[in-house]
Chain A
Amino acid sequence: MNKLHSIVSPKTIAIVGASEKFHKNAGRVMVNLEKSNYSGHVYLVNPNYDNISGIPCYHSILHIEDDLDLVCVIVPADQIPGILRDCVKKSVKNVIILSSGFSEYGPEGARREEELREIIKDTDITIYGPNTPGFYKFVENWGISFSPRFEPRQFRKGSVGIISHGGSLGRAVLDANQRGLGFSYWFSPGNELGVKTNDCFEFLIDEPSTETIIIIAESISEEERFFRLLHEAYLKQKPVIFLPIGNFEISRKAVKYHLGSINENTIPWEIVNHPGLIKVESLNELVAAAWMFDTYGYGKGGRTAIFSWAGAASIYLADLCSKYGISLPPLSEELSETLKKITGVDKHFMNPLDITTVVYDDLKKLTASLLALCHSGEYDNVIIPFPFQVDYENEVLSLQIRALMEEEKCIFIPIFMSQGYRGENAIEILKETKKPYFFHESTAIKALGSYLAYTKVKIGEEVENEKVSKR
């Protein structure tokens, strides 16, 4: 049984260091839990208070009669050994240490961390942290966090589990929740004294609501286990989207300096190779790929078309498709004829499509062409560039895409290429769908490429399984 199961489903939580200074980290942990959907009981512990905002406050966890499933500690680092000893006395199983001041804090902090290790030796206490920003349980709208911006009731549940070393990049990705990328869990195990990145990875592989796993890491401890888990995730068909950070000498130095990580060795990620691993180069690409998986699951197939009324845009995107291994099969004679009729343009249409600016004069031609393309059944994915801002044309196209999205016959990749302000109504319309839309054509196509490649592997795998079972 993975260590995290009991950490994420406690019936009772004690917050050690709770305080009425709600604008400070310690005070916010309680506020953030109170405003969530957490259904269990919350105990407050701080020797300086008898009650906080009318909720009774205990002077020590030893004064609490109830069993504590999870103790959350946010007090200055030098007080933590004492509290941990109390936890041992009370047979607490799980402790989250949010406080910093440990191995990321130089030799003195490292000694302190060693002391904690010593205290829990030969006990069955699991520590999450120290120096962790907590975790979010999207599936139940709550989390342990001291963030000043934490809105658990607005969590958008989804299928993406995320593990980030350090909080900031994780939070950056979590903000994509606003745009429609749904999450299941977020873990950031800090200095990994007990729970390690791999434990979180293992948990998410087995966790039923998680279908896709994002990992942002500066190093992996227990590397071989990581690859075993990666293979397991692959066997369960959960794509692992991975952004390795700290890959160069200066950044390795920074890793040591900022995070106190003693793991100076890094895997040369550029040569790592596994069909279950989607290596990405930017947060933008990471979110793009995850959003595709979260919204469209395993998709519909690999047949992809580019639908454009601007020639150069369609050519440029066709370049990118070739670069990232996306095939653009030709239109059937029939479909080409249909488009000829709709547009009144007497030429043979090809994929990438350029239905030309005749659509400027009659926007019905634009929407009818898109309808014909989608309803032909010849394509699974349609890439639609919005090459620049043209108010009404773009708005009409967006409305048509939104309507077609509801039919769920094709997957749409709308790309807004204009380099101006992003305030067009066309964007607002697609925003409401909460489905993927993109601004960076190159990352959009690259992410689509990775998405389709994973889907293809899956199809290949099924064939392989059949072969095996026939044998």
Chain B
Amino acid sequence: MFVKDAMTRTSIKYFENDYINEIAKQVLKDNVKGGLVYNIKDELSGYFTEHSLLDGLVQEKVMLSEILKKEIVFLDEHQELRKVNFSDHELMPVRNKYKRITGFLTKEQYLSSYLKVTQVELSQMDAIFNSAHNGILSIDKDGTITSINPAAEEMALTTKEKAIGKFLTDVVTNGGLLRVVRTGEGHSEKYKVGNRIYISHRTPIFDGDNLAGAVGVFQDISEINFMADELEAVKGILKEQETILNHSSDGICVTDVNANMIKSNQRFQEMFSEVQVSNQLPAVVKDLVVLVSETGEQQNVMETNKSDRKPLILSAMPIKNSHEKLERIVVNVKDVTELEALRCELNHTKPDSGNVQLSENSNHFIANSAEMTKLIETVSQVAKVDVTVLLNGESGVGKEEVAKLIQQSSPRSEKPFIKVNCGAIPESLIESELFGYEGGAFTGALKGGKAGLFEQANNGTLFLDEIGEVPLQLQVKLLRVLQEMEITRVGGTRPINIDVRIIAATNRNLQELVMEGTFREDLFYRLNVIPVSIPPLRKRVEDIPLLIESYSKIFSAKYQKHLHFSKSAIKVLVEYKWPGNVRELVNIMERIYVTSIGSEIQKEDVLNILGKKLDYQSNSNKAVVVNEVLPLKAAIDELERELIYKASLTERSYRGIARLLEVNPSTIVRKVKKLGGDL
């Protein structure tokens, strides 16, 4: 027990000019036994105790300074309690190891803790006394037995009750302890009782300067004889090992930690001529031994023998004593000439299996901007781990391309990649499209049932485009599929296990849809674990020239036309806002290639084509402007085409377009078909 365990820990300061009666009240209330008193310079000047307070009150003193006890001796928090010399102090201040005062120890605390420590020690002593294998017996100065432990009881064939109070030799045969009482000097003695041999250490007990008695500690040492026999056996084993050592086909030597050779076998001496000549360790072995003695760990090396050029495997092993200290090092040397020959042969027959370089997938992506480079880096990192990804970005930024990029650089690249445009499938069909159906599930269902897109994508990747368009009631099912990784066909009862990686994409702000209540929050959280957002083209204008160049190559090949873009033409393209992003850019490029007559593309050519588009986009006061008279039906067709086109600039899905135009998605599908799919 330490001072810190018994002390009162406090930083309360009393001052010399505090009033005794005030402090007495406080002390009584807080139930503390004293306090430390400081002077005007904030230095510790003394202490008071309950008693001195009382004394001060009785003598009608006023200030603490009048009753102050000034004998200050500091204790250290980490001092052992039993080593504290409390002497006449009533209270001692305590400091920590940084010499800061942390509290005090009162005499009462000291004594009660000391008592506790002593009691514990006493019971420990009792335990030792009672459980020791050695016999312990004590007598007083008259030779009367005062204590005897269970081991001694057993050896003397007696019990405590019978022995205590009796004269020593009435209980045991050997009276050597009496001599200790007589002479006041201890001694050791070896003696025999029957056929057992004992050794006894005898010590006098003093009470101050006066001899009070003696104690004897004795032990049966008959067992030691057996040990001698054992030693003999060990010698035999050593001899066996010697024989084995000398007949080993490996070279073996033993050294001490300083690489001095202690022993080596015949084979070792044959391998290294220097051993035979000068009894010196060969350099290669010495290096290894030094390494082992430095690291304390086993070391293996392959080396060529300097004398006969034969390949050797050397392993050096540390031998540690029971205190984990390195004592010896054993070196084993194996001649591997034959083994090496075999290995060479194997190497020659092994087919050349060079590293197959994986194709550089990011080539798909034409991008040089910092933002896109970082994105591609992230995407290729994400691709390799098998997790759901949510792609976010405006229409035309290339969400599908990113999805494909992920699929191609993923471990599932050889497996199916199925794309579903959730906005394009009529709401009533979407469930059976995704999960499939059993025969007879509904009118018009195939007889044998049909596997859904999830099943088709099994082991592969499912790209759910326009995820924001999935109807609410299906979102619940989708989340369940994601959590359980099993689906149930429409009309079916048996769940089917699937293993599909989901890549979802949307051009809408799902968080907003969640707030509107059209998208489930839990599904959003589940899909959004790894969100990847793809920047719009206007945020990465530095990529536009690169894109122009790349698509020029593609279209010049397609249309067998070589066009040159003037600087100002490119400038116009770079400055355009591209609401339709890369897709729009590709469309414009193609249009330029189709419509151009000359081979030089000037600013005006681009402006012409963009201008037509800008017309589409310009906000005239009226929503619809009629430029020429034409048959109503043709005009309606034209208007429908224009409306759908305009809607498609911001909405990629049929359902999205339908919502903007406030018609059924199937209407849009029908119209688009009728218009020949050409917007």
Contact = CB atoms under 8 A, between A and B. Distances in A.
Nearest to A227: B529
A227 B13 contact: no
A265 B384 contact: yes
Contacts of A220: 385
Interface in A202-229: 220, 222-224, 226-228
Contact of B98 (A266, A277, A423): A423
Contact of B378 (A227, A228, A271, A423): A271
B529 A392 contact: no
B531 A271 contact: yes
A267 B9 contact: no
Interface string B194-233: 0000000000000000000000000000000000000000
Nearest to A270: B378
A275 B525 contact: yes
Q: Which of A266, A271, A395, A464 gathers the greatest number of chain B CB atoms within 10 Å?
A: A271
Contacts of B388: 224, 227
Interface in B237-269: none
B11 A423 contact: no
B38 to A, nearest CB: 12
A40 interface: no
A423 B531 contact: no
B16 to A, nearest CB: 17
A408 to B, nearest CB: 25
A232 B381 CA distance: 25
B96 interface: yes
A395 B11 contact: yes
A425 interface: yes
A276 interface: yes
B530 A224 contact: no
Q: Which of B10, B387, B485 gathers the greatest number of chain A CB atoms within 10 Å?
A: B387
B629 interface: no
Chain A interface mostly: helix
Contacts of A232: 483
Contact of B501 (A224, A391, A428): A224
B381 A265 contact: yes
Given A275-B525, A391-B11, A392-B12, A224 B531 contact: no
A235 interface: yes
A464 B13 CA distance: 57
B528 interface: yes
Contacts of B385: 220, 223, 265-267
Interface string A127-163: 0000000000000000000000000000000000000
A273 B98 contact: no
Given A391-B11, A423-B100, A267 B382 contact: yes
A395 B11 CA distance: 8
A267 B387 contact: yes
B482 interface: yes
Interface residues of A, number: 32
Interface in B88-144: 96, 98, 100, 102
A291 B482 CA distance: 32
Contacts of B24: none
A215 to B, nearest CB: 15
A55 interface: no
Contact of B386 (A223, A230, A272, A273): A223
Given A223-B385, A224-B388, A428 B9 contact: yes
Given A223-B386, A425-B9, A273 B530 contact: yes
A265 B410 CA distance: 11
A54 interface: no
Interface in B401-442: none
Given A228-B482, A421-B98, A274 B528 contact: yes
A231 interface: yes
Interface in B518-573: 521-522, 525-526, 528-532
Nearest to B533: A271
Contacts of A231: 483, 522, 525-526
Contacts of B530: 267-268, 271-273
B378 A273 contact: no
Interface string A272-292: 111111000000000000000
Interface in B472-521: 482-483, 485, 501, 517, 521
A228 B485 contact: yes
A340 to B, nearest CB: 29
B12 A464 contact: no
A425 B501 contact: no
Contacts of A273: 528-531
A425 B13 CA distance: 14
Nearest to B383: A265
Interface in B56-97: 96
Given A228-B482, A265-B381, A266-B385, A464 B11 contact: no
Nearest to B382: A268
A52 to B, nearest CB: 17
A235 B522 contact: yes
A324 interface: no
A234 interface: yes
A266 B387 CA distance: 11
B9 A268 contact: no
Given A223-B386, A265-B385, A230 B529 contact: yes
Contacts of A391: 11, 13
B96 A423 contact: yes
B529 A425 contact: no
A274 B523 CA distance: 11
Contact of A392 (B9, B11, B386, B526): B11
A223 B387 contact: yes
Given A231-B526, A235-B522, A425 B102 contact: yes
B321 to A, nearest CB: 13
Contact of A224 (B96, B98, B386, B517): B386
Interface in B1-51: 9-13
Contacts of B526: 227, 231, 274
Contacts of B13: 391-392
Contacts of B528: 273-274
Contacts of A276: 525
Interface string A221-253: 011101110111011000000000000000000
A269 to B, nearest CB: 10
Given A421-B98, A423-B98, A272 B384 contact: no
Contacts of B529: 227, 230, 272-274, 277
Interface in A417-464: 421, 423, 425, 428, 464
Nearest to A391: B11
B387 A224 contact: yes
Contact of B381 (A266, A428, A464, A467): A266
Nearest to B390: A273
A266 to B, nearest CB: 7
A94 B378 CA distance: 40
Interface string A4-32: 00000000000000000000000000000
Nearest to A220: B385
A223 B387 CA distance: 6
A378 B367 CA distance: 55
Nearest to B485: A228
12 contacts: A224-B388, A226-B387, A228-B483, A230-B529, A265-B384, A266-B381, A267-B381, A267-B385, A267-B387, A268-B382, A273-B529, A274-B528
Given A222-B386, A425-B9, 16 more contacts: A227-B387, A228-B482, A232-B483, A265-B381, A265-B384, A267-B381, A267-B382, A268-B530, A271-B531, A271-B532, A272-B529, A274-B526, A274-B528, A392-B12, A392-B13, A423-B102
Q: Which 9 A/B pairs are nearest by Cβ-Cβ distance?
A: A265-B384, A391-B11, A223-B385, A223-B387, A274-B529, A223-B386, A267-B385, A224-B386, A231-B526
